[in-house]
Copies of this chain bind each other. A is one copy, B any other.
Amino acid sequence: MPDRSPLAPVRFPALPALAGVRLASGNCGIRYKGRTDLLLVELAPGTTAAGVYTRTSMPSAPVMWCKKINAKGRARAIVVNSGNANAFTGKVGDASVRRTVEGARKLFGCAAHEVYVASTGVIGEPLPDEKITANLAALGARLSARAWPEAAAAIMTTDTFAKAATRTTKIAGTKVTINGIVKGSGMIAPNMGTMLGFVFTDARLPAPVLRALIARACDRSFNATTVDGDTSTSDTVVLCATGQARHRAVTSAANGHLKDFTAALDAVMRDLAQQVVRDGEGARKFIAITVKGAASDASARRVGLAIANSPLVKTAVAGEDANWGRLVMAVGKSGEPARQDKLGIRIGGVQVAKAGVRVPKFDEAPVARHMKGREIDIAIELGLGRGQAVVWTCDLTHGYISINADYRS
């Protein structure tokens, strides 16, 4: 088990109880010794839900199930295991999902389409689902509104710290809470959500509104992060609204009463996404890449991701080397509109290059100091248009190699 990431928050945030959500976790022995690997979440009757999922052509069995029930927009239970992804397991994997869903359905007396399942871990091995179903009743007997830290811990794989975020906000004057937990460390280049994220609110919002809100929030959070450019087979982010808050009815994501809520949801999702990057396998430095002056926002995002996924940029940051030539390289290889004679680069706020050349009398000392810090700021000015984006990533270190050269063995 690698040491706790040096980029981890000082402490796990204090998540308040959230009306309509109870949680329990345990160790059912799927893979890990001496740590929890199973999470059961109970959601109050009437809870609405919307998820976003990996765009891979090789989705896991749980992802296929969640995509199927997503249109119903209802949730009464979530069952998550770590240690085995139940991915590339064919019909056997589908049967494992069905049995797990059936176990939770019976426990809560709900419909099958109200049970979300998620699995994370090794790909390609049959999931011993009997270990899950044998433990559901015990977990059901000790559900608690306070077990957020334990819930966040139970879904970890190579994560070095449990990740959660919370915000309180108002809808039409009524206080509502948003709590989220997430796991993820490697195989992070979400093309939807990261590996597994669960966000809960007591707001009362119909599923179509949730779908619009989560898609937008994902785009500004998880979809703007990368650790290693590898996209998981299991990426799942689900937003559940228990409807226990007694605010005025809201039927559209564009409703003005959702302005603060949307901002708070964005903040929770961004917080969670950045925590995943801060726990990137082997990460020692957190890198924020701002791209401005692009032909479009989408183009700016792609330039940012080309930089964020460049092994040479990431190793230069690991080496505390202000090797800005590698930034030029990454912009150049992105395939996006860019003109050498317009390109400007700032590192740590210091202008390094402008209009296609290194600035005259460039003093590397302040940049070198910035590179020694934990938080690295890179800003690219393309000088072409008004498109902009921010992308978050981490450095590429010996730790990543050590973790991944013998994860499965």
Contact call B124/A325, Cβ cutoff below 8 A: yes
Q: Mark A45-63, 1 if CB is under 8 A from B, else 0.
A: 0000000001111110000
Chain A: number of interface residues, binned into ranges: 35 or more
Closest to A324 in B: B124
Contact call B340/A88, Cβ cutoff below 8 A: yes
Contact call A401/B398, Cβ cutoff below 8 A: yes
Q: A208 at interface (Cβ–Cβ under 8 A)?
A: no
Of B311, B341, B358, B401, the residue contacting A125 (CB under 8 A) is B358
Bound CA–CA A324/B357 (angstroms): 45
> Given the complex, which residues of B lie within 8 Å of A114, measured CB to CB?
none
Contact call B230/A328, Cβ cutoff below 8 A: no
Contact call A319/B409, Cβ cutoff below 8 A: yes
Known: A230-B329, A315-B401. A321 touches B408 (CB 8 A): yes
Chain B nearest Cβ from A365, distance in angstroms: 14
Q: A97 at interface (Cβ–Cβ under 8 A)?
A: no
Chain B nearest Cβ from A191, distance in angstroms: 7
Contact call B191/A333, Cβ cutoff below 8 A: yes
Which of A174-188 touch B at CB < 8 Å? Answer: 186-187
Q: Mark A361-402, 1 if CB is under 8 A from B, else 0.
A: 000000000000000000000000000000000001110111
Q: A250 at interface (Cβ–Cβ under 8 A)?
A: no
Contact call B56/A332, Cβ cutoff below 8 A: yes
> Given the complex, which residues of B lie within 8 Å of A232, measured CB to CB?
329
Contact call A310/B230, Cβ cutoff below 8 A: yes
Bound CA–CA A409/B318 (angstroms): 12
Extra pairs beyond A90-B341, A228-B312, A398-B398 (6, CB < 8 Å):
A88-B340, A124-B325, A230-B326, A315-B400, A396-B401, A398-B401
What are the nearest 9 A-B pairs in CB distance? Answer: A123-B325, A58-B332, A319-B405, A56-B332, A315-B404, A231-B333, A90-B357, A124-B325, A228-B311
